[in-house]
Amino acid sequence: MIGVLQILAQVLGGLAFALLAPAAIALSSEEGIAEGFLVVAGLVGFLAGALFFALHGRRGNLRRGHRLVIALSMWIAVPVIAAVPIMLSTGLDYVESLFEAASGFTTTGATVFASLAGVDPAVIFWRAELQWLGGLVTLCTCVLVLAPAALGGLSSRGLALIGGFTEAGSSRAGLVIREVAVLYTTMTGLCIVLLFVGGVPTFDAICLAFSTISTGGFMPIDGALTDYGSRFAEFVVPVFMLVGASSIVWQRMVLEGRRAMLAEHRETYWVVGVALAVGVVYAIQFAGLEALPEALGEGLFTGISLVSTTGFETRPAGLAALPDSLVLILALAGAASLSTAGGVKFYRVGGMLVQSAHELKRLIFPHSVRSHRFGSQPYDLGLMKAIWANLGLSLVVIAAAALILSLSLPTFDAAFIATVAAFSSVGPLYTADWPMSVGWPAYGALDGLSKVTLVAIMILGRLEVIAFFAAINVAYWRS
C-alpha cells in the first residue's frame, strides 16, 4: 500500500495548495475568516509532507485494485477536509458544511445557503474551486481507473491519445494527469477570458467558468445568468457546458485533427444533438411567455444545462417547464462518458438501446446476420452484462436512498427527485419550481440523516456505483 499512500500524499499536498487561493481572498476582506483556510491548509500540508518524506525513496507498485482505493479515498477525504474551512468561515454546522463541500467537489451544485448575500467571497470562490477540482478528478478517475478496468462496461478506446493506455493495459499516471490537466485548464482559461470580454466581473467570471467547465451548477450570485445582462455570456456558457459534457478523448481528437476517429466517435454528437433537441422543446414551452428569439435562446440554454447535468437556469422554473418524468430520464442518462457530466452516460444508454433493438430483430428474423457493434465499439455479452449490471446497481442505490429520504420529506416525489439530482450531479433539479413542489424543504432545511444520505449518493454517483462495489468485493481483489 506504499504506492497508495504516496499518491494520497500528493493529493493532500494539492488540496493544501488549493486552500491558499480562498485564504488570499479572505485576507483582502474585512471578515477575518482567513485563519480558517490557513489553519486547514497548514495541517493538511503538514500531513502531506510527513507522508511524502516518510515514504520517500521507497518503491510502491500500484495494482488495479490500488487505483480503485485511491479514487475512493480521494472522493471521501477531500469533501471531509474541505468542509472544515466552510464550517469555520460561515457558522454552518459540520454536516451542513460537508454537504456543501461534497456538492461542490462532486459538481452537483446543491447548496444549503438560502442566499449568498452574507457569504464571504472567499467561501464563494472555495465552492467554485472545489467544483473545478472535482471536474478534474472526475476526468482522471475515468481515464486512469474506470475505463482501463472496463468497470460498468466503459470503453478504453482512444485513451492512447492522452498517453494513458497501452495494449498491455499499463498506464503512466503522471503523463495522463498532465495531459488531462493541461487541456482542462486551457478550456477553463478560455472560458474565463470570454466571460470577462462579455462584461462579467472578473471574480464572477472565474467562479462561473469553474462551474461551467466542470458542469457544476454553483452560481457566484443569487439569481440566474441573465442578471449579468450579457447576451455574449449567455452564448459562451452553454458552449462550454457542452465542452464539459463531451468526452475528453473526443476533444483530443478535435485538437489533433483525427478526422477518421472523429467520424467513428458518435457519442459526443448524440450528446450535442439531444441537448439541442431538448432545447427546442423547452423553447416551445417558453414561446408563449416571450418573443421567439429570446425563447429559443433560453430554451437551448436550458436543454444544454439539463443534458450536461449542470443545472443552470435562465428563468425561475426553467428546468421544470417539461414533464418531470422526461426531465428525470434525461438527468439519469447524463452526457458523454469520460466527461465531467453526471448520469449513466450516453455510451451505456446507446449500448443498451442497440442490444434491445437487436433482440427485437432476432424475434422477427431469427436467422439473420447482425453486426455486433454500436458506433465504433464492438460489443459482446460480457460488455453488455457489465453495462446492465451498472444500471441495475444504480437503480437499487437510488431506490434505497429515496426510501431513506422519504422518511423526512413530505412526499416520495420529493425524495425521488432529490436522489436523482444527487446521483446525476444536477442538484438544482430538486429546487426547481415543480408544480408538486409546494411545501418541499430546501436543502438547508433537511435533517442530518437526509444530508448525509445525499452526500453518500453524490459520491457514489461520481465514483460510479459499480466501482464502489468492486472496491469492497473480495473476489475483485483476488482476480
Q: Residue 72 pLDDT more than 70?
A: yes
Compute the average pLDDT of residues 456-465.
90
Q: Which residues of 314-353 are buried (b: 16+ CB within 10 A; e: fewer)?
A: bbeebbbbbebeebbebbbbbbbbbbbbbbbbbbbbbbbe
Better-predicted residue by pLDDT, 169 or 435: 435
Q: Which of 339, 143, 104 is nearest to 244 (CA)?
A: 339
Least confident among 191-195, 264-268, 357-361, 369-373: 369-373
For residue 168, the model assigns a pLDDT of 38
Q: What is the pLDDT of residues 75-132, one digit of tens each?
A: 999 999 999 999 999 989 999 999 999 999 999 999 999 899 889 999 999 999 999 9
As a whole number, the mean pLDDT across the chain is 87
Q: Helix, strand or coil for residue 32?
A: coil
Q: What is the pLDDT of residues 317-368, one digit of tens each?
A: 788 899 999 999 999 999 998 899 999 998 888 888 888 887 787 788 776 6
Q: Residue 134 pLDDT more than 50?
A: yes
Least confident among 77-86, 307-316, 338-347, 464-473: 464-473
Q: Residue 212 pLDDT more than 60?
A: yes
In this prediction, residue 170 has a pLDDT band, given cuts at 50, 70 and 90, of very low
DSSP code string of 135-187 = HHHHHHHIIIIITTTTGGG---TTGGGGT---TTS---HHHHHHHHHHHHHHH
Distance CA 51, CA 405 (A): 39
For residue 236, the model assigns a pLDDT of 94
Helices (H), 412-447: 412-423, 428-431
In this prediction, residue 169 has a pLDDT band, given cuts at 50, 70 and 90, of very low
Question: How far lies 194's CA from each of 124, 127, 182, 186, 215, in Å?
Answer: 21, 21, 18, 12, 17
Looking at the chain, the number of H-run helices and the number of E-run strands are 21, 2
Q: Residue 153 pLDDT more than 90?
A: no
Distance CA 131, CA 241 (A): 13
Name 386's Cβ contacts closer than 8 Å, sequence gap at least 6.
150, 151, 152, 153, 466
Which residue bears the cell 439530482?
A: 421
Helix (H) / strand (E) containing 72? helix 64-90
Q: Which of 306, 397, 309 is nearest to 108 (CA)?
A: 309
Strand partners, 377: 374
Q: What is the pLDDT of residues 427-455, one digit of tens each?
A: 999 998 888 888 899 999 999 999 999 99
Q: Is the pTM of this model over 0.85?
A: yes
Distance CA 77, CA 74 (A): 5
Q: Residue 166 pLDDT more than 70?
A: no
For residue 64, the model assigns a pLDDT of 65
Compute the average pLDDT of residues 252-277.
87
For residue 179, the model assigns a pLDDT of 87
Q: Residue 65 pLDDT more than 50?
A: yes
Strand partners, 374: 377
Distance CA 214, CA 342 (A): 10
For residue 402, the model assigns a pLDDT of 96
Q: Residue 297 pLDDT more than 50?
A: yes
Cell of 64: 488495479
Distance CA 54, CA 175 (A): 24
Strand partners, 378: 373
In this prediction, residue 370 has a pLDDT band, given cuts at 50, 70 and 90, of low
Q: Which of 154, 166, 332, 169 is nearest to 248 (CA)?
A: 154
Q: What share of the chain is helix, strand, coil (3-state, %, to 5)?
A: 70, 0, 30
Better-predicted residue by pLDDT, 247 or 366: 247
Q: Residue 314 pLDDT more than 50?
A: yes
Compute the average pLDDT of residues 147-154.
80
Cell of 263: 467520424
Distance CA 159, CA 252 (A): 10
Q: Helix, strand or coil for residue 373?
A: strand
Distance CA 62, CA 127 (A): 32
Compute the average pLDDT of residues 172-199.
90
Distance CA 91, CA 479 (A): 47
Question: How far lies 134's CA from each of 68, 106, 236, 238, 421, in Å?
Answer: 16, 6, 21, 20, 17
For residue 474, the model assigns a pLDDT of 63
Distance CA 457, CA 421 (A): 9
Q: What is the pLDDT of residues 373-423, one digit of tens each?
A: 665 666 677 788 888 888 999 999 999 999 999 999 999 999 999 999 999
Q: Helix, strand or coil for residue 377?
A: strand
Better-predicted residue by pLDDT, 227 or 420: 420
